[in-house]
């Protein structure tokens, strides 16, 4: 049974509650009581096999119950509305000494993965301005909970001429993604701080 314990704990990741559940299920005796009567080796094997199969089913149920999709949307939104730690916030300083606090897109991505692992995102449109000097991206973020799914869209715009740090479409997409996340409350406090 050691092989089962090891393979199941690797499959479930680092969830300590799932691992402890698995350990308790695998270490318990079979449901039928021990008796002094002799059993055949076939019945002993079958009984052990049944206990292991039952333990596997209970562990799978516990693992799926602890995944992000099994949380109500209100719980996910409550987590996303918490203040982002200052250590994750960056400051962008423009040439005219204007500064803006922001959370990088990859940090927002990780926060979503942590609190809403079943989220999805997509670029809805990429539009160049009539004079071809700017590009705008519309991005949609969708959160999935047990009770509902909800999405928010936002735009980001970047100058085509500004290639100081990356491609203009990528910059506009990152901006639109961050703004869509802010519509769920993720990093929204930074917008209020910039206004004061």
Q: Convert the pLDDT of each residue in 82-135 to its tens digit.
A: 999 999 999 988 778 888 889 999 999 999 999 999 999 999 999 999 999 999
Query: Same domain, yes or no, for 8 and 29?
Result: yes
Query: Same domain, yes or no, for 84 and 102?
Result: yes
- Are 62 and 25 within 8 A, CB to CB? no
- Are 61 and 78 within 8 A, CB to CB? no
**For each successive 10 residues of the chain (196 residues), what is the average pLDDT?**
37 40 43 41 57 54 49 94 93 83 94 94 98 97 95 97 88 96 94 64
Whole-angstrom Cα distance, residue 169 to residue 163? 10
Q: 4 burial class (0-12, 13-18, 19+ CB within 10 angstroms)?
A: middle
Domain count for the chain = 2
pLDDT of residue 23: 45
- Are 124 and 140 within 8 A, CB to CB? yes
What number of CA atoms fall less than 13 Å from residue 15's CA on the CB side? Answer: 20
Query: Same domain, yes or no, for 80 and 62?
Result: no
pLDDT of residue 8: 35
Query: Same domain, yes or no, for 62 and 113?
Result: no
CATH classification of the domain holding 154? 3.30.390.80
pTM exceeding 0.75: no
Query: Same domain, yes or no, for 20 and 77?
Result: no
Query: Same domain, yes or no, for 91 and 141?
Result: yes
Domain membership of residue 27 as a residue range: 2-66
């Amino acid at each position: 049974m050691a092989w089962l314990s090891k393979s199941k704990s690797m499959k479930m990741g680092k969830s300590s509650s799932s691992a402890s559940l698995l350990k308790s299920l695998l270490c318990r005796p079979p449901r039928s009581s021990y008796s002094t009567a002799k059993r055949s080796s076939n019945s002993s094997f079958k009984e052990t096999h049944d206990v292991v199969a039952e333990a596997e089913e209970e562990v799978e149920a516990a693992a799926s119950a602890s995944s992000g999709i099994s949380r109500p949307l209100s719980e996910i939104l409550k987590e996303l509305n918490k203040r982002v730690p200052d250590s994750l916030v960056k400051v962008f300083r423009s040439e005219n000494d204007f500064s803006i606090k922001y959370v990088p897109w990859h940090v927002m991505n990780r926060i979503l993965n942590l609190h809403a692992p079943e989220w999805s995102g997509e670029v809805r449109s990429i539009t160049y301005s009539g004079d071809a000097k700017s590009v705008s991206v519309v991005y949609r973020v969708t959160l999935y909970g047990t009770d509902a799914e909800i999405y928010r869209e936002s735009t980001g715009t970047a100058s085509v001429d500004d290639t100081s740090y990356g491609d203009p479409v990528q910059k506009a997409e990152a901006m639109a993604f961050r703004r869509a996340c802010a519509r769920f409350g993720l990093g929204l406090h930074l917008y209020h701080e910039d206004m004061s």
